[in-house]
Chain A
C-alpha cells in the first residue's frame, strides 16, 4: 500500500484515501471540432503503459478532494515526486 504525500494537505496519507485517475498531462483539445476522428480517438483512448517512470493523475478522494500529479516508478513503486496541476514534472524518463 502506497504512502502518498498530498501536496495540497502537506501530509503523508495512506493510499486508501486516494485513487489514481489515469495518466497525467492529457489535455483536452481546445477545439474539439477541429480534431479528426483519429485525433479525438487518440485523446480519448490511447495511454502510455511504461515500465519505469510514469506521470499519473491522482485525487485525494477521501481527503481534500484535490487532484495532483505524481511521478511514480511502475516497477519499484517509488514515488519520485508529487506536483500540482498545471506544474511540470522535474523527474522525467531518460
Chain B
C-alpha cells in the first residue's frame, strides 16, 4: 500500500521511522508522529464508520477530541480490546490493530445501509420511543436487534492485562491546555516561583501552533514552543503532563487528569509501567486555556466522507504532511476558513473554490487568498454535496444577505473534499463541570465561560480570542494574576512577537438553506455520531419539545461519546430558528465530566482485584486459613464461617460444631466485635443515656448486656459492657455496627451533652478475643491459668483481670451460646499465641473451632437476637420481648425512651418477636418467609410477619425459627402458615423463642 496522500516533506512526522498498522484486517504504513487518523488519511481510507441510525458511510471530519466518526476499536488480542478510541487522538505505533465498530458485514458494504436508505423517513426523532415501545413483551427482541445494528465498540471479554494508578497532586496554578495561551501562562507562573502543573491532551505541547505555519519572532512558532518547554522542564516545581486530558473540573478546584502513559507505545504497556494514570489535583488557581473547536456548517449530505472542518485540513497538511484529497472546496463564514485553502494550495493540490457566505469580507487572510489567485465565490454557500463513499462534487448557490434563503442559480463543481468553517466554539466544557452556565457572545458567535465561584482564570481561545498575539497576552495576564492571587511577585516575561492579522467580522450562520425545505432536502446532519439532522430537530420542536434539554433528549443530539462537541451549537441554532428565538433564548445544554471517554481501569487505578476493598483480618486469621475455614464477610472483616472437615457438607459441619459446644467445648474467634473504651467521671451517666437499661449500679468487675436505641425508640445495636473501674468501662458492639456506634456516642457527647466528662476510644483492633464455650470450658481455662476460675470465685457476668497462657488477659464470663463460657481478651499481638495454646490444651477436652454460622444456630436455640438480623429499624425492645432490658426508673430521659412511647409504638397488634416451631420438625422455614393466618383465604393474604432467623437445630433434633408475628407475644400456641414460592405451605406453631435450656442453667454452672 502506498501513502498516496502523503507529502514528500514537511510536518512533524519522522519519515525515517515507518510503522505498520492494521485497519479492518488490512495492513497499512504510517510514520512515527502520525495519529491513527492521519495515517488512515495518508493511505486514502475514506470510510471509517457506518452511522448509528442510518448506517451511512462516514469519514474523518476533525483532527482532535471533537472527532465524531473515527471512533474505532483497538486491540491486537481479546484482553487488550479498547472501545471508543478516537483515531484522531491515538498515536500510531508499530503493530497497532484497529477496526471500525459498526457496519455489517463491513463498513464498505453495509447491509444496514440499505435499510437506512429505505427507512430514512421511517426513522424520525423519537423513533425508538414511537416504534419499539409496544408491545412491551417484544422489547428484548427489539433491543438486541438495535444493539447489533448500532454498536459503537465493545468491552473486552478477558481481563485487562495492564495496570493503572493514581496520584494525588497539589499545586498553586493548574494550567489546562498547552497552546500559546497555556504556555505563556505556565512560563509566567513558573518564573514567578509558583508550583505549576500544565496538562495537554496531545502528545506534545504547542496546541494550535503545531498545526500551522505561523511564525513567532520571525521563526517557526514551534521553536518558541520548544524553548518554553525546555525552560519549564528546568523548574523543580513545574510538572509537565503531555498526553494528559483534564477530564473533570470538580468543586473547590479539584481536577482529574487522565494521563495516557503508554497507549502510544504498544498494545500492552511495557513491563513495570502503568498504562494510564489518574492525577487528582487540588489547585489553588486554575487557568483554562483549552482553546476552541471549529464548527462545521450544516448542509445537505454534509456527512459524505471528504467533508471536513477547515482547521483539520490545515492540521493534517502542516503537522502530518498529509493532504486528505485532491480537489478542495472551502465553505466558510469567517476569515479562518481561508487558511485551509492557502495550506492546500501550498501543498500543491487544487483549490476548486472558496465559498464565502459573506459579501465582500476583507481581512488579511482573504486578501492572501485573493493574491494567490484562488477562486473566491462570495455571498454563496455549498448547499449540497454529491457522492456516497466520497465527495464527488458540490452544488453552490447564492445566499440571501441573512443566509436564510438560497437565491440565484445553482452551479455544480467537481471536488473530492469539502472543508467548512462555521466559526469556532470555545471549549467551555471544564468551566461547565462546576455548574457555571455559559454565556452567549454575539461577537464571538459562541458560548463563553459563565460566572463561576471557582478560583478560575481563562485565556485564549476559550475566551473567543483566536489570534496568537492575543492568546499569548491573555496567557501572560492569567499567569501574573495567578501569581498575585497565591501571593507571589510579578514575573518577568517578554512575549514573542506574533504577527497580528486583520480579521473581518464573521457571519453568524449555522444551517445552510437548501432549494427544498429542510424536511424535504437531503439529510443535513447536525450531530454525526447520533445521526441527528436539522430536519429531526425541526420535527422535535414542532412536536412541542421547546426546552433545549428536551430537544436533546428527544433527538439524542449530543448523546454520543463525543458529547456533541462539533454539533451542539449548530443544533441549538437550528432549534432556535425553528422556535423563532435567539440562541441565548433557547439556552444551552451543559457539559459534564468526563471531557473524553476514559477507561474504567484509569478510574479504578490500583483498587482492583484483591485491592478492591480493604479486608480486615484478626490476629488468628492465618490459623483459620490453615484449618480450611470457610469465611464470611462481616463489614470488611473476614470471619470464619464454619470449618469443614473432609467430606462434610456445610450442614454436617454445623451439626458437628454445635454438638461439640453443647457436649464438650468450642472456640470462636470473637475479635471482630466492636470495642469502645469509655472513660471519665461521667462515663456511667453517659451509658445510662445511650442504653435503654440501667447502669447506675453496675459494680466494678461486672458485665451487663445493653440495648441501644435511636431517638425513635428502635433498637439498632446491642452488646455487653464491662465496668473496669469507677470511671472506666469497655463497651462491645456488633461487628458491623462498631463505627456507627462510636460516632453515635461522639455526636451525642459533642453536640448534646458536652458538659459530661467522658472520653471514647475505639479499641477493636487492640484486642484479640477467643471465646471458649461448653461444659468443658472451665477445665480448659484452668489448664492455662493459676487463677481460681471456679463458679464461686468467678461468677456468671463477672470479668476478671488474670493471666492466661502467661499473658495478661481480661476474661469475661458471659455467654452467647447458653453454655458456660469465657471470653478471653488479650492484646492483639498475643492473640495467635494464646489461641494456639488453647487449641493445644483443648484437644483432650474435645475443643472444636466453630464459626459464625454455628454461633448463629447456638444463639437462636437460646432466643438471643442478632441486631441487624432480628431487628430492622422498626422494632423496639418491647417488640423483641426484651422489656426486661428497659429501665423506666432512670431520671434522665435516655435515648429511645420518648420514641418507644409514641402512640404507634404502644398500640396493640405490633409485630413481635416469637419462636416458631414447624409442625414437621424436619422442615426449616426459609428466612424472610411471610406468615399468614389462612393460606387458602381470599387474596391478597394479610401478612402477619416474617421469619428473621431459621436453622436446623442438631441439639434439639428439629428446626427452630424466630420471627415476627402481629401481636405474637399474646398468641403462644397458635398456628401460622408460611406459603413458599414453590406453592408449598409450612405450618408452624407460635412459641417462646427460647428453645433450649429455658431456665438458663447451663451458663451458670
Contact = CB atoms under 8 A, between A and B. Distances in A.
In this complex, the member of B253, B435, B751, B754 whose beta carbon has the largest number of chain A beta carbons within 10 angstroms is B751
Interface stretch (B92-100, B722-730, B742-750, B763-771): B742-750
A1 B899 contact: no
- Which interface class (under 10, 10 to 19, 20 to 34, 35 or more) fits A? 20 to 34
Given A1-B254, A28-B752, 13 more contacts: A3-B252, A3-B253, A21-B743, A21-B747, A33-B897, A33-B898, A35-B898, A44-B711, A44-B899, A61-B743, A77-B251, A79-B252, A86-B754
Contacts of B898: 32-33, 35, 40
A89 B641 CA distance: 51
A14 interface: yes
B282 A33 contact: no
Interface in A14-56: 14, 21, 27-28, 31-33, 35, 37, 40-41, 43-44
Contact of B747 (A35, A67, A77): A67
Name, among B251, B254, B903, the residue most crowded by chain A CB atoms within 10 Å (CB to CB). Answer: B251
Contacts of A40: 898-899, 902
A59 B746 contact: yes
A65 B254 contact: no
B750 A85 contact: yes
A38 B496 CA distance: 73
Contact of B902 (A14, A27, A37, A59): A37
B751 A85 contact: yes
* 10 A-B pairs with least C-beta separation: A32-B898, A3-B252, A32-B893, A76-B453, A77-B251, A67-B750, A1-B254, A78-B453, A28-B752, A37-B902
A85 B755 CA distance: 13
Interface of A: 1-3, 14, 21, 27-28, 31-33, 35, 37, 40-41, 43-44, 57, 59, 61, 65-67, 73, 75-79, 85-86
B263 interface: no
Contact of A1 (B250, B453, B754): B250
B282 A3 contact: yes
Contacts of B165: none
Give the most central of B282, B434, B893, B897: most A CB within 10 Å. Answer: B893
A33 B894 CA distance: 11
A68 B901 CA distance: 31
Contacts of B364: none
Contact of A67 (B253, B282, B453, B751): B751
B250 A65 contact: no
Q: What class of interface size applies to chain B in its complex with A?
A: 20 to 34
A43 to B, nearest CB: 8
A19 to B, nearest CB: 9
A37 B754 contact: no
B252 A1 contact: yes
A27 B754 CA distance: 13
Interface in B889-914: 893, 897-899, 901-903
Contacts of A37: 902-903
25 contacts: A1-B250, A1-B254, A3-B251, A3-B254, A3-B282, A21-B747, A27-B752, A28-B711, A33-B893, A33-B897, A33-B898, A33-B901, A35-B898, A37-B902, A37-B903, A59-B746, A59-B747, A65-B746, A67-B747, A73-B453, A76-B435, A76-B453, A77-B252, A77-B435, A85-B750
Interface in B709-754: 711-712, 743, 746-747, 750-752, 754
Contacts of B253: 3
Contacts of A14: 282
Interface of B: 250-254, 282, 434-435, 453, 711-712, 743, 746-747, 750-752, 754, 893, 897-899, 901-903
Contacts of B750: 66-67, 85
Contacts of A78: 453
Contacts of A65: 746
A14 B280 CA distance: 11
Residue among A35, A66, A67 facing the most chain B CB atoms (10 A cut-off)? A67
A41 B743 CA distance: 23
B309 to A, nearest CB: 35
A45 to B, nearest CB: 8
Contacts of B251: 1-3, 77
A85 to B, nearest CB: 5
Most buried by B among A28, A31, A33, A78: A28
A24 to B, nearest CB: 9
Contacts of A67: 746-747, 750-751
A85 B747 CA distance: 10
A11 B754 CA distance: 23
Contacts of A33: 893, 897-898, 901
B897 A32 contact: yes
Nearest to B168: A14
A33 B750 CA distance: 23
B827 to A, nearest CB: 23
Contacts of B282: 3, 14
B111 to A, nearest CB: 48
A44 B712 contact: yes
Nearest to B905: A37
Nearest to A45: B712
A35 B897 CA distance: 12
A78 B893 CA distance: 39
